[in-house]
Amino acid sequence: MIPSAANFRFPIPGGVLYGYISERGLRALQLYADNQSPPPWAPLAPHLDRGRELRHLLERYFAGLKTDFDAVALDLDTGTAFQRRVWREACAVPYGGTTSYGALAQAAGASRAARAVGTALGANPVILLVPCHRVIAADGSLGGYGPGLLWKRFFLAVEQGVPPRQAWHAARSAESG
C-alpha cells in the first residue's frame, strides 16, 4: 500500500506503477491497472536522484534487458521480521528464474511455512524489486499474486525475453481463454 501519496510513476502496458520514495529509499511500488483510479500524487523533488535511478532500471527491465534492482535502496520497515526475511529471500531468486513457496520458506528458515510465505509475499510493498512474481507453486502452477495472475504471467514472460507489448497481449489472452 502506498503511504499517503505516490511520488513516482512509470507507465507499463496495461497500467502504471506508482511508488513512494522516502528519504531512506523506495517504500512502495504498486501496480494500478488502466481501469483503476490512481493514488493521490505528490511531487518527487526531495528524492529526484532515486527516482531517476529507479526509472532507468525499469526502462531496462521493460526493454527486455536483464535487470538487477539491487542498486535501489529499499525502505521496508513496515513489514514484520518474518515478512522482511521472506522478501529478502525472494530478492535472491534470479531474473528469469522461479522458486516454489516451499523452497522460499526453507530459505527463510521456516521450512513448514509455505502458506505464511504466500501471505508475506501478498504484503510485499514493492513489486518487481521484491520479485514475488517469481514464486510459484511446487507443482509448477502459478499460485497467487497480489495484483492478479495476469500480471504475474506478464512479468514472467518479460523476463523470458518476450517483448512487453507481446507479453501483455499473451497474458491477457491466457486470462480470457
Handedness of CA 156, 137, 10, 16 (dihedral sign): positive
Residue 2 lies in a domain: no
Residue 1 lies in a domain: no
Which has the higher per-residue pLDDT, 5 or 20? Answer: 20
Q: Are 16 and 10 in contact (CB under 8 A)?
A: yes
Catalytic residue among 132, 135, 167, 171: 132
Domain end (from 71, 95, 123): 71
pLDDT at 32: 93
pLDDT at 7: 87
Residue 122 lies in a domain: yes
The pTM for the full model equals 0.91
Which has the higher per-residue pLDDT, 6 or 166? Answer: 166
Both 106 and 33 in a single domain?
no
Please choose, from the candidates 158, 177, 144, the residue with its C-alpha nearest in 3D space to the C-alpha of residue 13: 158
Give catalytic status of residue 91 as yes or no: no
